[in-house]
Every structure is written in C-alpha cells, then in structure tokens.
Structure 1
Amino acid sequence: MNNSNHHGGRSVLASLRAVIPVRPLDFPEAMQIAELQAARLLELSDSTEGPVDSAVITELPRIRVRRVELPTSGMSFWDGHNWVIALNSSEPTTRQRFTLLHEYKHIIDHGATDRLYTGVGRHSPAQQAEQAADYFAGCALMPKRLMKRAWGQGLQRPAALARHFGVSERAIEVRLAQLGLVDPRLRCAPPSTVRPTHRPRQTYFRLLSPHWASRGLTPVIGGAP
C-alpha cells in the first residue's frame, strides 16, 4: 500500500471530493460518483490487487478512528481538529471494516450533500446519502474487477468470497447482485430519476449523547474542512 497521503499537492480527501461535479445530480449520477471515488481511493493507495487494508483510511491525516460502545454501527464528526470515525467495538471486524468505509464516504460528502442527494419519492436525501455510503464501501472493499476475477477462478460461494475480501456474507451477497453475478431479483431496485420540485437544506450531523463525551467523542458544529 502506498502510504503517501498527498498526490500532486492535493490530499486524498481533496482528490476524492474533486470528483463531485459542482452541479446538482440525480441519484443514479450520485451513485456513479460513489463508485468513481472508491476506485480513485484504491488507485491513490495502491490497493488495486487485493483485499483493502483498513490502513487506507486509518493512516490518512486528520482522520482519527475510535472503537467504543455505540447504539449504532458507527458515526463520523469533526471535533475541531480532526475527523473522527467512531466504530461499534462490539461488532465483528468485518462489519467494522464496512462501517469505516461507509463513514469515510460521509466525510467525503461534507459540503456537497445538497447537490449529491436531492431526495425523490419516498427516499429522503438522508436515505440516499446512506445508500451511497453503503455503495461506496462495497465498491472499495469488493472492487468489481477483483470480484469478477475471483468468481471466474471458481471462488463463488458467499462464505469463501467473504473470507477472501474480509467482509460479511451479507455484504458479498449484495455486491454479487449489484454486479449481476447472481439472481438479478436480489438487486436493489434502481433509484428513480425524477427530480423533486424543491428540496430542503440537509445537515448531516450525528448527535452524541452526553455520556459519550467521556470517551472523547466531542463533536464541533461548524468549521469542518
């Protein structure tokens, strides 16, 4: 893995944010951006030939990862100095790996959520943001090229693929469906391309209960880069 955190004078985070167009997007476009960002992350970290190491994220500057007791799988926030990704320490390592990438996508999206996720039908902008974060994590941990190569080499049982890529069997099943390697009826329904006539401004901020502050999870509203 390439440990360089800057490429051509630009940080990894800035490079991934630069993929986002400056115009509003419909949801299929936002999902394509998530896939492009995942591929770009792997390229920048030289993680193109094997299972992704969590260090791809944990070794980035201004990123701090905490493993604590949480009522959810994870959360991310700016503490005034660094981006903090909190992971549920009671969950399996495979789940924590997925959550780490999921939360990093929320950090990438900071400042661009209004144009990435406009909401449509019964899907709110916040729900779209969660779906895109899941998709980003899946693309990064189970890249299309490596998944298809493993499948072509006979590694087709979900349990075996899960061990190979260091993810849960459920994550593998979803990714196989996305790539068309299993029954397409298992795939998530494609998002509608209908745009809403207006959209409320969204603030993506994970609230922390007071007792979490004792664990060093103290968010700061505003000022996040």
Structure 2
Amino acid sequence: MNKLTETPPRSVLAALRSVIPDREVVFAQARKVAEIQANRFLALCDVEFSPVPSKIVSSLPRIRIVFEKLPTWVSGTSHWNGTHWIIVLNKSEPPVRQRFTLMHEFKHIIDHGRTDLLYTGNSRYTAVEQAERAADYFAACVLMPKKLLKAAWSRGIQTSARLARDFDVSTVAMEVRLSQTRLSAEQDTYFQVPTRALARGRQAMPQRPLSLEGAS
C-alpha cells in the first residue's frame, strides 16, 4: 500500500526537509540525518515489504523521471526546470542501478538549499564528496531498510546474492549494505568461527561504514 495517494501535495518532501538542522553539522551527523530521512520516507509511504517500489519517488507531485542515454560515467542527474524536479536516469544501465540512482538523486533534491549546512568538508572529503556519499547512504537506507534486512536475515536468507534479488538491488550494493548494518558480522558470530585470523580481520575493519559510491 502507498500512502502517497492520501498525502497532501509536497508534504512528503517538506517532511523530509524538516529533518535537516538549522545549523552546520559534521558529516557523521549528516549521515544520521540521511538515515532518519530514509526511515521517515518509508513510513510516510507505508512501505513494509521488499522490494521497495520506485514509485514512492515517481508518484510524488512535481517530480518527473526521464530516461536518456548519458555518458558511461554518469548514472543520473537532477534539476529544477521551473515547474518540476527532473530526475534523468541513464537508460543504458541495468534497472537495479537505475533504482539506486533514482533514490540517490532524490536525496539531492531533498538537500536543495541546505547543502551548506549538511556538507562543510573535512580533511578526508570535500563538501561535494560528502554530499555524494550521503546520497548513496540515503539510497541504501531506502532500498535496503535495516528493519527489512534483519527480518529477511532471521528467516535464513543470508547470502548477498539472494538478498539482492529479494530487494531488487545489485549484489555489490547489498554486500556494502550488509557491512553497514553489521549483519555479515552477525553471521560470523552465528557460525562461531573464533579464529585468530578472523579476530585480526575484524579489528582491521574500518569503524566508518563503507560508502556505496559506484556500488549500485
């Protein structure tokens, strides 16, 4: 069921933008904002099952989805044409990547006018790079919600390939999302493989969740 048909025009976008603080934040906080926005978006659309439908974006008012042939290094773009937000997707790319790009570009639309507060740059990433990484994270949180992933995992679906099929995303994107949600680590615990090599490997894992850039 999709509550978008019951929601007043533009209220969904306004609700997601209302999460953005009225002050500058560090990137860790910006990522948290992206996750909160993703969860609120799913709740507003009453999404309770996978795969998450792309129409939760395409059915919004003042948003149009266009498929065009873009350069191979461009998955999508978004812009305001004076009356609508236009999201352009590369028609040469597979549907799973188009779905990811759609959510990525929608995050840029949500952030419009507030990027200077969310992304200020740091010693590791420029402000533009932070915006791209946050858009990737938002897309992952929308298409692969932690709650639905854990439910699937508890039902015994614990391979990235099978989960990717169920959530209609690429296998690589799913592997990164499993790392972000720590479900892959839970699998290691479940099978109880306390080897020294595994312990060293876990200690070497970065504390920051991996980016989904290029993984869609």
TM-score class, shorter-chain normalisation, is 0.7 to 0.9
Aligned to 1:201: none
Q: Distance in 2 between matches of 1:138 and 1:14?
A: 21
Higher relative contact order (CA 8 A, sep 6+): 1
TM-score, normalised to structure 2's length? 0.83
Does structure 1 residue 56 correspond to structure 2 residue 32?
A: no
Paired letter, 2:33: I
Paired letter, 2:70: L
* SS of 2:99 mapped into structure 1: helix
Aligned to 1:190: 208
Q: Distance in 2 between matches of 1:186 and 1:94?
A: 31
* SS of 2:177 mapped into structure 1: helix
* SS of 1:61 mapped into structure 2: coil
Aligned to 1:162: 164
Paired letter, 1:52: V
The 3 A distance-change label for structure 1 pair 187 and 143 is farther
* Conservation of the 8 A alpha-carbon contact between 1:178 and 1:187: no
Aligned to 2:4: 3
The 3 A distance-change label for structure 1 pair 40 and 186 is farther
Q: Deviation of residue 190 (structure 1)?
A: 2.2
* Conservation of the 8 A alpha-carbon contact between 1:177 and 1:186: no
Paired letter, 1:112: R
* SS of 2:79 mapped into structure 1: strand
Aligned to 1:200: none
TM-score, normalised to structure 1's length? 0.80
Listed as ranges, the matches of 1:69-218 within 5 Å are: 69-71=69-71, 72-182=74-184, 190=208
Q: Report how many residues are paired.
A: 190
Does structure 1 residue 24 correspond to structure 2 residue 42?
A: no
Q: Deviation of residue 181 (structure 1)?
A: 1.5
Q: Distance in 2 between matches of 1:17 and 1:168?
A: 28
* Conservation of the 8 A alpha-carbon contact between 1:26 and 1:116: yes
The 3 A distance-change label for structure 1 pair 75 and 10 is closer
Residue by residue over 1:115-170, the C-alpha shift from the partner in whole angstroms, topping out at 9 and shown as x without a partner, is 00010003000000000000000000000011011111110111100010000001
Aligned to 1:206: none
The 3 A distance-change label for structure 1 pair 188 and 111 is farther
Specify which structure has the higher proportion of helix: 2
The 3 A distance-change label for structure 1 pair 116 and 168 is same
Aligned to 2:188: none
Q: Deviation of residue 3 (structure 1)?
A: 2.9
* Conservation of the 8 A alpha-carbon contact between 1:5 and 1:61: no
In structure 2, runs of 5+ residues without a counterpart are 186-201, 210-216
Sequence identity percentage: 53
Q: Deviation of residue 51 (structure 1)?
A: 1.8
* Conservation of the 8 A alpha-carbon contact between 2:27 and 2:130: yes
In structure 1, runs of 5+ residues without a counterpart are 192-225
